[in-house]
Amino acid sequence: MPENAALISDPTTIFIYLTGAVALVFILSEVKQLKKLFHYMPPVIWAYFLPMISTSIGILPDSSPVYSWITRYLLPFSLILMLLSANLPEIIKLGKTALTMMLAGTFGIVIGAPIALALFLKWTPEGIWKGLGMLSGSWIGGTANMMAIAEGIGTPAAMYGPVIVVDTVVGYGWMGVIIALSSFQAKFDKWTGADRTILDKVRDNLKKVQDSRSRPITLRDLSLMLGLGFPATYFFLRLGDLLPNIGGIVSSFTWTVIFASLFGVALSFTKVSRLEDAGASKIGYMALYLLLASVGARADLGLILDAPVFVGIGIVWLMVHGAVLLGVAKLIKAPMFFFATGSQANVGGTASAPIVAEVYSRSMAPVGLMMAILGNIIGVYPGLLVAWLCRMVETTLR
């Protein structure tokens, strides 16, 4: 659609419309009668699809300078603020069993992607590797990593639709399976020979829940978040432009994403991390949702027809992921709790890993949260590896 054919074409007005659309999604998600709908179709999918529908019916243009601005500046900004809460010392306290299972889940995601792609390749569109690289980001840490990888490797906006569909349908379906298996903990632990006293040790090491220090945000807090996040973003964008493109996977913007992520983690070791007490990550997530909305406005509704192929790939992909976790659990005699949380910390991220952890063992939600935060920290790098492996499969076998 030509930009001037849309009902709204002014960049400022488009930005206002997108912020209103995201706000509307969260307002509706709190309506009692719609709770069930948003349980199965969470706000992240509506934040994408409402702008896409708006473009399809002629309200928004499918291209605008504001979309590019949101991508370049709000994504690195959101990563910096969200990673302020990356408490590595507390994560290390989880112990080797928890960390091994978390990383085994990540390894399963990495090798599952090329295996699934090889099985479905003849039914997939050209450039499918970019879509799978994007999806791997969501399944190793969550939405922030998904968007970082997608923008870094240049995933077409039109491919976001089927990726988000499979992320929701298969990802939440997998969570349902994990929760349903919780009644088999005793049998699983007997099969692996697990020592459940490990759980007590982990519980003792996590006496502080991450959000227990929360406080109301002040004007000083907000000014520091903006005054730190945007200048750092600008600096990393300029720095990324100076560095070489590596193999079509690591672009100048990928460098920006990597630097922003490392910067956020580095700040988590300083007093600046106290901004998280005032909700720095929530400001970051708001920026991320605006980015998702802007991508939705550029998407092609017709590409949703590719979703069945993506769903098939996603199912096989997570089966490989589950098989790897099962094998490692048996090898190291891990309790089923760590099988479940190690999986969900990857596939579900910070939103659902604490829920699964609590289902398996009361008062253990912080464990799921910490494992998911580890996924936030490392997710970009194995996600880029997934993109490279899938491109190799597509180039070689197509």
The mean pLDDT of 73-80, rounded to a whole number, is: 90
The mean pLDDT of 310-334, rounded to a whole number, is: 95
Average per-residue pLDDT for the chain: 86
Distance CA 125, CA 128 (A): 6
Question: How far apart are the two ends of the chain, measured CA to CA in Å?
Answer: 32
Distance CA 4, CA 42 (A): 32
Instruction: Tokens for 279, please give them.
Output: 């909700």
Length of the chain (residues): 398
Q: How many CB atoms lie within 10 A of CB 129?
A: 25
302: pLDDT confidence band, cut at 50, 70 and 90?
low
Asked if residue 199 has pLDDT above 80, the reply is no
Greater model confidence, 351 or 82: 82
Amino acid making up residue 266: A
210: pLDDT confidence band, cut at 50, 70 and 90?
very low
Taking alpha carbons only, the member of 307, 308, 325 closest to residue 177 is 325
Q: Over the stretch 22-51, which tens digit does the pLDDT of each residue have?
A: 999 999 999 989 988 887 777 877 888 899
Instruction: Tokens for 1, please give them.
Output: 């659609």
State residue 340's pLDDT score: 94
Q: Cα-atom radius of gyration of the chain, to the nearest Å?
A: 21
211: pLDDT confidence band, cut at 50, 70 and 90?
very low
The reported pTM is: 0.78
On whether the CB atoms of residues 298 and 55 are closer than 8 A, the answer is yes
Crossing angle between the packed helical segments 365-378 and 96-120, to the nearest 10 degrees: 60
The residue with tokens 């870094």 is 152
Distance CA 243, CA 259 (A): 12
Q: Over the stretch 239-271, which tens digit does the pLDDT of each residue have?
A: 999 998 776 677 788 889 889 988 988 898 899
Taking alpha carbons only, the member of 180, 151, 177, 153 closest to residue 314 is 177
